[in-house]
Structure 1
Amino acid sequence: MTLKCIAVDDEPLALKLVQKFIEQTPFLELVHSCDNAIEAMTLIREKQPDLVFLDINMPNLSGMELARLLQQQPPPIPKIIFTTAYNHYAIEGYKVNAMDYLLKPFNYEEFLRASNKVYELFEESSNQPTVVDDEFIFIKVEYQWVRVSLKDILYIEGLKDYVKIHLTAPQKSLLSLISLKALEEKLSSSKFMRIHRSYIVSLDKISAISKNSIFIDKAEVTVGEQYKETFKAIVDKWIR
């Protein structure tokens, strides 16, 4: 597996160093680099990288501001490793789901350690098994693989790098280290639908529909703006 990367830094020497480190790391591929966050936003939309090495202090638009904007965009959202000369951004980095925080000047060992963290996350997600006979999936929960019947799933909630699978009573919810996008690809589109950047719902379990929400069991899930048109097409078939 190779992770596509973009490097962003307004300091030429710092940018060259990150480029060099990416190029000498076997599981990383540099697809582009730039010296400002505004250009980076366009590149991220076009190239859809897996990982962005992002400087924080840049003119016009800071790396932290770019990270906040990315969190508001529809998926896929790349993982971020911040690179900065200042050590007081750790808490802010956590709030935007940054994978790591490299304090300049950093060496290759530190760079590799941070990159490995992202690689292991992607590798874990890719190792999740596929649907078997369209009836069940196996989900890794802590240190074991748990068989989950698709008919027991109410809805699935994305929580940063994890998903929470809500099941019919009396079963308890399951927490698994996999992205919502990766799990979505393993589910039947005729039975499950992404209706929000953070939610996938079982169409069979929807008990009621309002203008902007659906209801499953005792939960209310808002339909995200970018999913409304697709969801409306499904609803129109139900109520005609």
Structure 2
Amino acid sequence: MILIDDEPLARQELVYLLESTDGIEIIAQGSNGIEAVDIIRIHKPDLVFLDVQMPGLDGFAVLKKLLDSKSPMPQVVFATAYDQYAVRAFEVNAVDYLLKPFDRGRVVQTIEKARARIAASSPSTPAEAPPANSIDVQAGAKLDALLRLVEEQTHAQTHRAPNSKVIVRAQSRLLLVDQREICFASIEDGAISVVTSSVEGQSNCRTLEELMDQLDPETFWRAHRSFVVNIQHIREVVPWFKSTYQLRMDDPRKTEIPVSRAQTKRLRDLFNL
């Protein structure tokens, strides 16, 4: 078995729960999607516990790369903080799903499902095995169906009214944060950080565009390709070199955020500069 999750605390929790289950051997761990592809190819595990949202490659992209390279496909359990609608989509191509934070009973149930599926997919003789290309086609079809369902969910989310709260992951907890409390959000190496006056954590969104779809467009502004700011939490506009500006926010660190040249006019319009 292999565990892939970018959160060390989540991996530790899952290791603890799995090690107390009979007959389980964890042969490797990874912290991102790029590592996951290499580790799975090297170890060829029967089962992978795969986080959905990770820097670099997400869980779906990992499976796609394995399929495209004709690598042996393990049984997959998704670990996710997604809502029930998305979870149903994961079941198209997964043994099971686990919602964070993990529950011992749910983990045991998942292991039993995985064992049954592995046993069912192991032919008693080589003659009973289906052709490899048949397996690849079936797996690809399932993954395509999964991706279509997730895309449908994303489309539905982009056309609904913004929610007053957003989820922020902090210290292995899922916090519901009021939008008005958010000072700014930033993206680096594929991970989105959200900062409030009292909390710093990560968003479950994959892109800043996806996060912006959840936020009030009258309050939140994409000041830079890597930053979204709450205009109510701008403490100071700081003139910078060559007619550019920085925004000093009112978070505890008084973070300074650059304004891109393309957004300078919007800044001047906002504050009558």
Give the TM-score taking structure 1 as reference length: 0.50
Aligned match for 1:25, one of 9, 21, 27? 21
Superposed, 1:47-66 pairs within 5 Å as: 47-66=43-62
Q: Which runs of 5+ in 2 are unaligned?
A: 136-273
Q: What is the RMSD computed on CA atoms of the aligned residues?
A: 2.4
Q: What SS does structure 2 have at the residue aligned with 1:80?
A: strand
Q: Which runs of 5+ in 1 are unaligned?
A: 132-136, 138-181, 185-193, 200-240
Q: What SS does structure 2 have at the residue aligned with 1:60?
A: coil
How far has the Cα of 1:29 moved from its partner? 0.9
1:198 equivalent in alignment to 2:144:
no
Greater Rg, structure 1 or structure 2? 2
Q: Residues 136-169 of structure 1, C-alpha deviation per residue, up to 9 Å, x if partnerless?
A: x8xxxxxxxxxxxxxxxxxxxxxxxxxxxxxxxx
The percentage of counterpart residues that share the same residue type is 36
Q: Residues 159-189 of structure 1, C-alpha deviation per residue, up to 9 Å, x if partnerless?
A: xxxxxxxxxxxxxxxxxxxxxxx625xxxxx
| Aligned residue pairs, count | 135
1:13 alignment partner in structure 2: 9
Q: Residues 94-115 of structure 1, C-alpha deviation per residue, up to 9 Å, x if partnerless?
A: 44x1111111112111011111
CA distance in 2 between partners of 1:49 and 1:129 (Å): 19
Aligned match for 2:87, one of 60, 85, 90? 90
1:123 alignment partner in structure 2: 119
Q: Point out the structure with the larger strand share.
A: 1
CA distance in 2 between partners of 1:19 and 1:6 (Å): 10
How far has the Cα of 1:197 moved from its partner? 1.6
Conserved 8 A contact 1:8-1:53 = yes
CA distance in 2 between partners of 1:60 and 1:125 (Å): 31
Report the AA paired with residue 46 of structure 2. D
Aligned match for 1:76, one of 63, 72, 75? 72
1:183 equivalent in alignment to 2:138:
no
Conserved 8 A contact 1:23-1:29 = yes
Q: Point out the structure with the larger helix share.
A: 2
Superposition misfits of 4+ residues, deviation over 4 angstroms: none
1:106 equivalent in alignment to 2:102:
yes
CA distance in 2 between partners of 1:40 and 1:32 (Å): 10
Give the TM-score taking structure 2 as reference length: 0.45
